Amino acid sequence: MTKPLTVFGQTTQPGQSSRYRAKVSELNDGTEVTVPVMVHVGAQDGPTVMLSGAIHGDEYNGPASIPRIFDLLDPSTLKGALIAVPVMNPFSYYTRERCASLDYEHLNLNRIWPGDANGLPTQRLAHALFSQCVEQSDYVLDYHEGGVAFLANYIILGGTVETKKKVGDKQLEMARWFGDGMPVDDATIGEAAIRMGRAGALSEAAGSHGIPAIGIEIGGAGTVWPDWVERSVNGSLRILKGLGLIDSAPAETNSSDQIICNTTTWLRPSHGGLIRPYDAAQIHAIIDQGTPLADLLDPFGNVLETLSAPFDSVIMDTRFISTVMPGDWTYKCGKLPS
């Protein structure tokens, strides 16, 4: 029989489930800041898996998918344990923003893991969640999306060379179990991405501790997409089956082969303006190098530049908000394997 599991001071016994709110901070008037926590402890031994949602406060795939996954599992037959936190970042969730404007430095929670117990509010939040949830887990499924500005539909692995050596093979196996034709970003992050904080992403921080974690990027535009939530739930159940927690999972509904990309890039305009997309600029579209994806227009309707595929690509992310500043992300292209 598996052992009891204590998360944020509350213990769940084998074969049982718990749902509660755990204090992680306080507001400036002393009001408690909490996160919702759900725990299944199976009656049989197995790995512990964490489900993480809303690290960014404008991303709703996690909060929509995680409770559904939790409710589909039965602790009496579960082999292992599940720790689920549908809203990881209450500070940014309150304000429906990517980063925490309530934090003095407006920190991005997914750039500062594993946090700092003596740091700013978001750093302390990261430390509490990492020490209580991530470090008690064997695997992490981290749910993201495009936020208000993008539509995303892919799985992100990646990490530094060192982290990929530790957990890269398992990350890729988890993505394969998700399946359903979901493209995979398996690029190794370089120095430029590290300078931008990518080494502080949850998948990287967990991986550096030997805990395989993948980012499930599905949804965006500040809304819940029922079909994509269904895809997120079913793919996650297939991962849980692959890890041995459950015996059965929904079959894949998309017969497309899963494309593994070791090189990805965002198209970034040199000017500010209005994006006018071409028909080719669709999620999961397979396009040739040089295919135009969008024109950038000035207020007079003049074309300032055309954004085109830098290589034979699959489109993983598309811009939803149509105005851009110079250097903004617009379309994420994954390079097709040769």
- Per-residue DSSP letters for 143-177? EE--TTTEEEEEEE----HHHHHHHHHHHHHHHHH
| CA–CA gap between residue 54 and residue 147 (Å, rounded) | 10
Categorize the per-residue pLDDT at 2 as very low, low, confident or very high, splitting at 50, 70 and 90.
confident
Categorize the per-residue pLDDT at 295 as very low, low, confident or very high, splitting at 50, 70 and 90.
very high
Look up the pTM and report it: 0.96
Q: What percent of the chain has pLDDT over 90?
A: 94
Place of tokens 């931008």: 196
Summarised one tens digit per residue, pLDDT across range 73-124 is: 999 999 999 999 999 999 999 999 999 999 999 999 999 999 999 999 999 9
Sheet holding 273-277, edge to edge: 303-308, 292-297, 273-277, 323-324
Summarised one tens digit per residue, pLDDT across range 196-240 is: 888 899 999 999 999 999 999 999 999 999 999 999 999 999 999
Predicted local distance difference test score (pLDDT) of residue 158: 77
| CA–CA gap between residue 143 and residue 232 (Å, rounded) | 9
The secondary structure of residue 66, as a DSSP letter, is H
Q: What percent of the chain has pLDDT over 70?
A: 100
pLDDT averaged over every residue in the chain: 96
Predicted local distance difference test score (pLDDT) of residue 196: 84
Type of residue numbered 197: G
At CA 277, angle to CA 275 and CA 278, rounded to 5?
A: 155
Q: Would you give the end-to-end CA distance of the chain in angstroms?
A: 48
Place of tokens 């997309």: 277
Helices vs strands, H then E, count in the chain: 7, 19
- Residue 23 contacts residue 33 (beta carbons within 8 Å): yes
Summarised one tens digit per residue, pLDDT across range 112-149 is: 999 999 999 999 999 999 999 999 999 999 999 999 99
Predicted local distance difference test score (pLDDT) of residue 288: 98
Determine the average pLDDT of the residues in 180-186: 97
Categorize the per-residue pLDDT at 336 as very low, low, confident or very high, splitting at 50, 70 and 90.
very high
| CA–CA gap between residue 3 and residue 56 (Å, rounded) | 32
Predicted local distance difference test score (pLDDT) of residue 1: 55
Collapsing DSSP to helix, strand or coil, 210 comes out as coil
* DSSP codes, 219-266: EETTB--HHHHHHHHHHHHHHHHHTTS-S--PPPS--SPPPEES-EEE
